[in-house]
């Protein structure tokens, strides 16, 4: 006789496990919410402290702390009796900005972080990050734990190498040869854009016009594509935006053109605009790699991702390069664009419409969240590879890198499978 009761059916056991998992997910979500709230509070406090320090540096020692009118006078120009303003950084040699006429633009203590000999670097004070990335773990050294799972090659996940990293905790969620050397192909262009953008934001780009340098509006600055650039792209069989010889395009066009269609013409143009030569730009790329602490396992020889024995990285390193790019607001904007139309030129009056096909093809797939940024790559030596950044349904942030898939679609489906299996 069957003595099994309704309370002990396999279905009830499955239901209890399901409820247990749901409870665990809710607890994890609450922990993440609390962590983000704490981070927001900390950022607000740091911002308040920064403002207080700057105010003290600027006004605390000018002998007129109680007179706000005096503070304004000191900031605007020389004191009424013709002496140097107490708010200035100090005397300078003849011909420097200290000798500028009254009312002209000079360097103030607010910009230098100095006040009566006590020097503090303002740029070393905490910088408030965009809320989307404020909760990312510090640094670029993900860690493996006892919970790190091994990704298995199956019918649904066929790439030979893969890694999934939790960008909030820094933990490697799952991997398959995550520390092995791979050929990054055009995933290289993530580093190309990151390197260029950081130089542009510092105002140190070799080709930047003085107007763009002064205004900070470098995105509308222009660059003229040469026959050497188009020949480089054609000769090496690279993808291209389709810029013509002597076509003058904007820096914004070059950034989007490097990522969305993986344009070699855009990438090389961006390198030349930024550093003056391809070789100098590659030096900047490897300097950035060293800054991230990845120079022992990653090295780059060109800005496009063309195959070279000395151009290599690892899935883990590539994920950290993408993390650094996502943390930069402009890079994140470029990497998240699904489509873009270049500016109107004589050769292309209506512009050229370009697409990030990885993002367009994955957007309707079930990834337990939204894939925000992505860059693919292919050379015959590497097969198809891809790097992507996802925000999961529970608010977590993940970075996935795969390499050596047999087709572009296969790389997309491998990312779908990894997100589906290992995120919530």
Question: Domain spans of the chain?
Answer: 1-78+110-128, 149-422
**Would you state the structure tokens that stand for residue 173, as one six-digit string?**
């969620």
The whole-angstrom separation of Cα 383 and Cα 377 is: 8
One digit per residue, the tens of pLDDT, for the chain of length 424 reads 444 444 455 556 666 666 667 667 777 777 777 777 877 787 778 777 777 777 667 655 444 444 433 333 333 333 333 333 333 333 333 333 333 333 333 333 333 333 333 333 334 344 567 889 999 999 999 999 999 999 999 989 999 999 999 999 999 999 999 999 999 999 999 999 999 999 999 999 999 999 999 998 999 999 999 999 999 989 998 899 999 999 999 999 999 999 999 999 999 999 999 999 999 999 999 999 999 999 999 999 999 999 999 999 999 999 999 999 999 999 999 999 999 999 999 999 999 999 999 999 999 999 999 999 999 999 999 999 999 999 999 999 999 999 999 999 999 999 999 999 999 7
**Would you state the structure tokens that stand for residue 109, as one six-digit string?**
């203590």
The pairing of strands 339-341 and 118-119 is unpaired
The whole-angstrom separation of Cα 253 and Cα 259 is: 10
pLDDT of residue 302: 98
pLDDT of residue 413: 96
Local structure of residue 98 (DSSP, 8 states): G
List of residues 6+ apart from 3 with CB closer than 8 A: none
8 A C-beta contact, residue 78 and residue 71: no
Straight-line distance from the first to the last Cα atom of the chain, in angstroms, rounded to the nearest whole number = 43
Give all strands of the β-sheet with 149-150 in edge-to-edge order. Answer: 149-150, 172-176, 161-166, 397-405, 383-392, 369-379
8 A C-beta contact, residue 150 and residue 175: yes
pLDDT of residue 352: 97
pLDDT of residue 12: 60
**Would you state the structure tokens that stand for residue 209, as one six-digit string?**
């016009």
**Would you state the structure tokens that stand for residue 265, as one six-digit string?**
């013409």
**What distance lies between CA 285 and its chain's CA centroid?**
14
pLDDT of residue 50: 76
8 A C-beta contact, residue 418 and residue 156: no
Which string of DSSP letters, residue by residue, matches 325-356? HHTSHHHHHHHT-SEEEPPP-SS-TT--EEE-
Predicted TM-score (pTM) of this structure:
0.71
CB neighbour class for 374 (10 Å; exposed up to 12, middle 13-18, buried from 19):
buried
Task: Provide the CATH topology of domain 149-422.
Answer: Beta-lactamase (3.40.710)
pLDDT of residue 3: 43
Give the residue among 205, 402, 262 at the shortest CA–CA distance from 319.
Answer: 402
CB neighbour class for 112 (10 Å; exposed up to 12, middle 13-18, buried from 19):
middle
């Amino acid at each position: 006789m069957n003595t099994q009761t309704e309370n002990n059916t396999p279905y009830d056991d499955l239901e209890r496990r399901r409820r247990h998992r749901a409870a665990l997910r809710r607890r994890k979500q609450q922990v993440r919410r609390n962590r983000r709230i704490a981070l927001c509070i900390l950022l607000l406090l740091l911002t308040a402290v920064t403002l207080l320090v700057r105010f003290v540096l600027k006004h605390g020692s000018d002998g007129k702390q109680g007179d706000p009118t005096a503070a304004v006078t000191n900031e605007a120009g020389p004191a009424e009796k013709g002496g140097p303003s107490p708010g200035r950084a100090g005397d300078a040699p003849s011909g420097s900005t200290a000798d500028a006429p009254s009312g002209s633009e000079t360097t103030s203590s607010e910009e230098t972080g100095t006040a009566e000999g006590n020097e503090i670097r303002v740029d070393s004070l905490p910088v408030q990050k965009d809320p989307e990335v404020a909760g990312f773990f510090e640094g670029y050294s993900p860690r493996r734990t006892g919970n790190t799972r091994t990704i298995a090659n199956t019918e649904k996940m066929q790439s030979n190498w893969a890694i999934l990293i939790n960008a909030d905790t820094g933990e490697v969620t799952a991997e398959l040869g995550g520390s092995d050397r791979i050929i990054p192909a055009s995933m290289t262009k993530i580093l190309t854009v990151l390197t260029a953008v950081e130089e542009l934001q510092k105002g140190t780009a070799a080709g930047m016009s003085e107007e763009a340098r002064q205004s900070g509006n470098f995105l509308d600055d222009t660059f003229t594509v040469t026959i050497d650039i188009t020949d480089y792209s054609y000769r090496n069989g690279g993808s291209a935006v389709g810029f013509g010889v002597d076509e003058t395009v904007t820096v914004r066009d070059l950034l989007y053109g490097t990522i969305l269609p993986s344009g070699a013409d855009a990438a090389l143009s961006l390198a030349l605009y930024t550093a003056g030569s391809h070789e100098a730009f590659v030096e900047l790329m490897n300097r950035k790699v060293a800054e991230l602490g990845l120079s022992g396992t990653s090295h780059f020889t060109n800005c496009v991702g063309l195959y070279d024995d000395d151009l290599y990285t690892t899935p883990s390193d590539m994920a950290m390069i993408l993390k650094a790019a996502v943390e930069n607001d402009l890079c994140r904007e470029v990497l998240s664009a699904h489509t873009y139309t270049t500016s109107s030129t004589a050769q292309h009056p209506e512009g050229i419409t370009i697409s990030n096909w990885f993002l367009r093809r994955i957007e309707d797939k079930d990834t337990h969240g939204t894939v925000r940024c992505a860059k693919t790559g292919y050379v015959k030596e590497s097969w198809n590879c891809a790097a992507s950044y996802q925000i999961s349904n529970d608010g977590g942030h993940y970075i996935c890198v795969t390499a050596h898939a047999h087709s572009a679609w296969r790389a997309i489906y491998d990312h779908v499978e990894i997100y589906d299996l290992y995120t919530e």
